[in-house]
Chains A and B, each alone.
Chain A
Amino acid sequence: MDEVKRGNAVSRFFRVLGKDLREIGQTFVQGDWKTKISFLVMGFGQLCRGQIVRGLAMLAMEVGLLYFTFGFGWQYLSKLLTLGTVETHKEGRVTVYGDNSFFILLYGILAVVAILALIYLWRVNLRQNREAEGLLARGKRLPSNRSDLASLLDKNFDKTLLALPVLGIFIFTVVPIIFMICIAFTNYDVTHQPPSKLFSWVGLENFKTLFGIGGEGFGGTFFYVLGWTLIWAFFATFLTYFLGMAVAILINKKEIKYKKLWRTILVMTIAVPQFVSLLYVGKMFAADGLVNAYLLKWGWIKTAIPFWTNATYARILIIVINLWIGIPYTMLIVTGLLMNIPAELYESARIDGANAFQTFRKITLPYMLFVTGPFLLTQFIGNLNNFNVIFLLNQGNPKSLQLSKNAGATDLLVTWLYKMTINDSNYKIAAVIGIMVFLVTAIISLVVYNTMPSVKDEEGFQ
């Protein structure tokens, strides 16, 4: 079924493209001279017909994009296929830098994006011309400059609102992501570092290295780290969730006084920046830290507990410390939601003689699970990439000879790839792992999302 769908999508794409090309042809053949000139000078037709605002906008964008692409981008774009050939060399002791593969790739991508934007604008420009001609031919008036501008605050308000955010995301999120995906297909690492060394395209080489196809590879380590990442995300999400719910219900009990005080105490962990609290907590559990010292002093233990050096202890401790961070957060959310559950439900349950546990199981839990489904999913995905907790507590250690590439027993995929970029400048492999992280996240989200009752019934709880 998917196959059919995809086939449809492809054929639809070509149908639309074909229709578009035909329309462009018709625009040229049937259009007047103003429209024809607009094929080259964008906005010309609009200007001639008095739509000054649109015309100027089009013209300015064309000039700007062309200037960007050819004035600035071309020097990079032209080398995109090789990523540079001019080597750095020395004249005497003075260094003369050659091509910089990094900038070629980065600005090359920007230039490609600019060209795509130009093509799109060009198409819009033609459509405007055609429409304007059509309107005039039917004896109608064109929208005035004033109404064009006014529509930006009303009918087209969405464009006004979204323009800057979309542009920002494009330049500072989309382009870097495209860049990093490209890096996965190059040999950019410590021995190929710009500006003095060039890097180049290597195809699927890095993926083969990761999975050990035709070489030793370190696929074993990858799956080990992936395994722990999933275990961690599972426990970090669900333990926090259920314990947080328990705490919320506890504080919410009618008989408990000073509700606000208890909540405020717990909520401190959200307010204090993690780099302060987690670094301190991490040090507390050091072999010679506060916890061990007091346990020894009180005679509860004979030798220090190796909290951070024993892989199993370290993993358990990290999950436990994460409870310290996560419980307050869940507690807040659940507290808010508990108030939404109709009191009559509880009342009737009480009359039926249900005990506290039964009411929880039959009323509270199902409601919570239904309502917090999407929240749990975002929490889970957030935990897959929970850099701070791992890195601030023990940097993914302990390592082991059984693991390659600097990985440790508590490393998540994200902390592992961070180490690769920072310690080893191994950008190519980090990029490959980044793509894997993306795939894992995407697959999990997709599967969970599609089986979630609250998503299937989106309007249900509005």
Chain B
Amino acid sequence: MKRKKRITNTICYVVLILMSIIWLFPFVGLVLQSFRGESGGMVAYLVPKEWSLKNYQYLFGGDGKFLKWYGNTLTIALFVSLLQTLVVICVSYALSRMRFRGRKALMNIWLVLGMFPGFLTMICLYFLLKTLGLTEAGAVPGLILISVASSGMGYYVCKGYFDTIPKALDEAAIIDGATRAQILYKMVIPMSKPIIIYTALVAFMAPWCDYIFASYVAFGYERGYNVAVAMTRWVWTNDYQGFFTRFCAGGILVAIPVTILFMCLQKYYVEGVTGGAVKG
């Protein structure tokens, strides 16, 4: 019996270790490539022959373009994270705690709207933003506006979480003379820390990977790019020979803040997805 258990345990550990290797392999590859000193193109080996920091020096030095792109993305991510969380809380609270005419209809319409593929509307959004003067040099506020404007539709998870807070608490508060607004910021928000952090975290992560719409909106204006737009060019267009190691280095720099944040807030993320996503 005991031996059998030991064998199963060993198998489990072997599986886990194998999985860890597979899961970490690409990231190890990225890190190693980012420190490669020899030619910047693709290579078919993992460990650099010559170690160097020149890829990072390129990103931080010179014309400071990369820092600008990085700053743009960070700005977008912070604003989107803040505003989107605000919007989602507002919408979720209204849909979860209040009963008003058209509530069901609103939720259904939003559900249906979510089924249209977003790419179709890109050109239309581009021209709307252009009309508002929020393309090219205004790409950063433009992207923030678009992300925040439609974020109300992402109420799903957060509302699911709010639904689990007992209604009786609300009723008691109302009897005590609290207004709905007070209930929201004095009671519901403090009780919803995991879901708020989850929402903010998800919102923060999305702009780092926006390489399509962001490139539309920046429309060739380089200082309006975000990192994803700028860096996918290094891989996809022929103008950037030997930028592969720089891409890896940039990728590491992009991954660092998001990963650290994610690792720190992982607990809330799990609570968020399980608490909200599943319930809906």
Contacts and interface: CB of A to CB of B under 8 A. Distances in A.
A and B touching (Cβ–Cβ under 8 A): yes
B26 A281 contact: yes
B16 A168 contact: no
A154 B127 contact: no
Interface residues of B, number: 91
Interface stretch (A39-47, A197-205, A260-268): A260-268
Contacts of B172: none
A375 B100 CA distance: 27
Nearest to B211: A275
Most chain B beta carbons < 10 A, residue from A172, A268, A272, A462: A272
A288 B45 CA distance: 10
Contacts of A275: 208-209, 211, 228, 231-232
B251 A276 contact: yes
Contacts of B122: 421
B20 A273 contact: no
A438 B115 contact: yes
Interface string B181-193: 1101000000000
Contacts of A441: 115
Nearest to A439: B115
B274 interface: yes
Interface residues of A, number: 94
B82 interface: no
Interface stretch (A8-16, A56-64, A246-254): A246-254
B117 A417 contact: yes
A300 to B, nearest CB: 15
Given A153-B179, A172-B128, A271 B262 contact: yes
Interface stretch (B56-64, B144-152, B217-225): B144-152
B258 interface: yes
Contact of A162 (B94, B254, B270, B274): B94
Contacts, number: 256
Interface string B1-30: 000010001001101100110111011011
B232 A324 contact: no
Q: Is the interface of B mostly helix, strand, loop or mixed?
A: helix
A388 interface: yes
24 contacts: A103-B127, A157-B98, A161-B93, A162-B106, A168-B87, A172-B128, A180-B121, A251-B16, A256-B12, A263-B266, A271-B262, A271-B263, A272-B258, A279-B247, A289-B44, A324-B23, A332-B269, A335-B274, A336-B271, A336-B275, A421-B120, A437-B117, A438-B116, A462-B163
Given A165-B152, A172-B146, A274-B209, 11 more contacts: A159-B100, A168-B149, A173-B113, A176-B125, A250-B12, A265-B23, A267-B266, A268-B27, A293-B45, A434-B120, A462-B164
Interface of B: 5, 9, 12-13, 15-16, 19-20, 22-24, 26-27, 29-30, 42, 44-46, 87, 90-91, 93-94, 98, 100, 106, 110-113, 115-125, 127-128, 145-146, 148-153, 156, 163-164, 179-182, 184, 205, 208-209, 211-212, 228, 231-232, 235, 247-248, 250-251, 254-255, 258-259, 261-263, 266, 269-271, 273-275, 277-280
